[in-house]
């Protein structure tokens, strides 16, 4: 069966719940705050921006961290130097007013290849936007 002309996905009205301007601005601001905290090793802000729940995860180049305690312990044990990075491309997409995904590619001085970071953000009524899942990797 073929859809009637003008009724397929290409002609559908845009979904207003994707990239709501208010939610998008809030997540972008939280993402910038995270980046500043990461490159300056501001542990208090990094701890704050990761959701304080047992299902929060962070996967990195050499670690799989489950829960805020493991994530915080990793941050405290890693070297505080060499955290600067140069973002190449960043995408932020919100879905509704309480769910978002950020994706970024970046480079680090002295490191071969492109770094990649993805984060899943959720807005919680009592604390605002928090990261519930993150993945960082390095390609070649």
CA distances from 36 to 7, 17, 86, 97 (A): 45, 28, 12, 24
Q: What is the pLDDT of residues 4-33, one digit of tens each?
A: 444 555 556 666 699 999 999 999 999 999
Q: Is the pLDDT of residue 2 over 50?
A: no
Please state, for a pLDDT cut of 90, what percent of the chain lies above it.
81
pLDDT score recorded for residue 3: 47
pLDDT score recorded for residue 82: 86
The Cβ of residue 101 has, within 10 Å, a number of other Cβ atoms equal to: 15
CATH of domain 18-139: 3.10.450.50
pLDDT score recorded for residue 140: 77
Q: What is the pLDDT of residues 93-132, one digit of tens each?
A: 999 999 999 999 999 998 999 999 999 999 999 999 999 9
Farthest CA pair distance, the chain: 61
Average pLDDT over residues 59-80: 95
pLDDT score recorded for residue 26: 98
* Selected residue with higher pLDDT from 48 and 1: 48
The Cβ of residue 84 has, within 10 Å, a number of other Cβ atoms equal to: 11
């Amino acid at each position: 069966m073929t859809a009637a002309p003008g009724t397929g996905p290409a002609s559908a009205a845009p979904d207003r719940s994707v990239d709501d301007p208010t939610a998008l601005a809030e997540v972008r601001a939280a993402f910038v705050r995270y980046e500043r905290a990461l490159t300056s090793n501001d542990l208090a802000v990094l701890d704050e921006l990761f959701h304080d729940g047992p299902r929060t995860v962070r996967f990195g180049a050499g670690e799989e961290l489950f829960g805020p305690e493991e994530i915080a312990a990793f941050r405290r044990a890693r070297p505080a130097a060499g955290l600067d990075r140069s973002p190449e491309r960043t995408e932020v997409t919100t879905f509704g007013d309480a769910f978002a995904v950020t994706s970024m590619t970046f480079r680090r001085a002295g490191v071969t290849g492109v770094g990649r970071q993805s984060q899943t953000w959720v807005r919680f009524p009592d604390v605002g936007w928090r990261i519930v899942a993150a993945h960082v990797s390095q390609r070649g």
